[in-house]
Amino acid sequence: MSKKVKTLLILLILFFGGRKSYCQDYTTEKQKILNVVINSVQFDSIYFSKRVYIQTNELLSIKSGFDLKREEYKVRFVNRVGAGLVKQYIVLGDFTMARENPQAVRVQIEVMPQNILLNMRLTKNDSEWKIANHLIMYD
């Protein structure tokens, strides 16, 4: 095998091997952030059910593999049809976070069917996510 081919193989292994770890880290950060959001006082003020139901969409799906809990209750994911069967559920509308070394994130969720919008900005302090500010809008 030529030296160029060996070098190319090593670069590909490093790129794709690191990419898996990078994707895993990004997913882990998203999970931590969403757990902070659904266990916050701000969320408690607009969501009144013990169990949290999240409608799946392109940002969050059943296959996401997230381990989300509100207190001792595991979050359940429902599709659009299933969402109509529960009294209250949330839709993740926006999730804006840098891909590499995120230090801040903006999360927007809507509580349905009440149409209450919760916008949060979280910052990372000593590897923990803290709520920096929030805005609640009622329809």
**pLDDT tens digit sequence for 68-87:** 999 889 999 888 777 778 88
What whole-number distance in Å separates Cα of residue 29 and Cα of residue 35?
Answer: 10
The DSSP bridge partners found for residue 109 are 92, 118
pTM tops 0.95: no
- Is the pLDDT at 94 greater than 50? The verdict is yes
Interior angle at CA 39, CA 34 and CA 43, nearest 5: 90
102 vs 122, more confident: 122
Amino acid of residue 99: R
Residue 121, pLDDT score: 97
Rounded to an integer, the average pLDDT of 114-118 is 95
> What's the CA gap between 137 and 139, in Å, rounded?
7
Average pLDDT over residues 105-118: 95
* pLDDT for 97 beyond 60: yes
Helix (H, G, I), strand (E, B) or coil at 9: helix
**Lowest-pLDDT range, 23-27, 71-75, 94-98?**
23-27
At residue 115 the predicted structure's pLDDT band, cuts being 50, 70 and 90, is very high
